[in-house]
Amino acid sequence: MDFETWYQVVGELRPGPQDGPAPLVLLHGGPGATHDYLLPLRELADGGRAVVFYDQLGNGKSTHLPSRGADFWTVQLFVEELASLLKHLGIAGRYHVLGQSWGGFLAQEHALTQPPGLRSLVISNSAASFPAFAAEANRLRAGLPPEVEATLRRHEEADTTDDPEYAAACEVFYHRHLCRLDPWPKGVSEGLAQIDVDPTVYHTMNGPSEFHVIGSIKDWSAEDRLGQIKVPTLVASGRFDEATPALQETLLRGIEGSQQVIFEQSSHLPFWEEPERYLAVVGEWLNNHD
């Protein structure tokens, strides 16, 4: 069976090594979301930089494979997909990568392959291991109202996490630690709703929620390999992020020369919550490492 990866390029893509801004490839989160919620980052193309959006396999406009099990949905699958996309676009010789949330895990794995054309890495709202991420999410969960926590626990113990009551309880957490804007912008609500359109990847790899992680990548970690990442790396998070600033310390210690930025008014989506500052910080970082 042939698989297709959908992509979209904003700006002019000039394949091969070039002067001027290097292309930026965006890795969305989930695993199981789509590119849509990252669309504010298209503004990074205003200075002549090509920005590449794509839907990872199994999601959005790419090939869906609902019958495939956990042995198919591996981190390596998505590492290979990204390498194929770079080759197809002809930009493997010079490019940047920004990975957000799960995309930050994928960005680390990509950098660990030592790709010669990778100019810099932005690890946004992510962590160096899934167990650490889940532990912090559960620490934040403990701060929810007692009745919300009780609802979450009851459905998890009964294996009824598909109940609307569970989803409603999750929303309380998400409005604190995923996106603090009220109401959520249309791009956020519609973009993340894509997970529910086809939950195969998210439920298989992650689980039913951000803090009830029982999927196939629950044990993923790059902590003992971070020293092998040799490209300039910016580590970004929000002050109220489910990927808490504490998680970033491991990345900063492990990746030599990495730098940190914290968005004080944001949670997990600072490009929506503090768009002007996020775009300015990331834009300057990319310009400095072309």
Interval 154-165: pLDDT, tens: 998 998 988 989
Q: Domains in the chain and their CATH numbers?
A: 7-288 (3.40.50.1820)
Active-site option among 241, 258, 266, 267: 241
Residues 208 and 157 sit within 8 Å (Cβ to Cβ): no
Bridge-based pairing of strands 51-54 and 7-10 is: antiparallel
Q: What is the pTM of this model?
A: 0.95
Q: How do residues 60-98 score in pLDDT, each as one tens digit?
A: 999 999 999 889 999 999 999 999 999 999 999 999 999
Burial of 89-110, coded b for 16+ CB within 10 Å and e otherwise, reads bebbebbbbbbbbbbbbbbbbb
Residue with tokens 């394949």: 15
Is 55 an active-site residue?
no
Is 64 an active-site residue?
no
Active-site option among 62, 101, 216, 237: 101
Whole-angstrom CA distances from 68 to 62, 63, 215, 227 are: 15, 12, 14, 34
CA neighbor of 38 nearest in space, from 14, 10, 65? 10
Is 216 an active-site residue?
no
Q: Can you give the pLDDT at residue 1?
A: 58
Q: How do residues 13-47 score in pLDDT, each as one tens digit?
A: 876 566 789 999 999 999 999 999 999 999 999 98
Rg of the Cα trace of the chain? 18
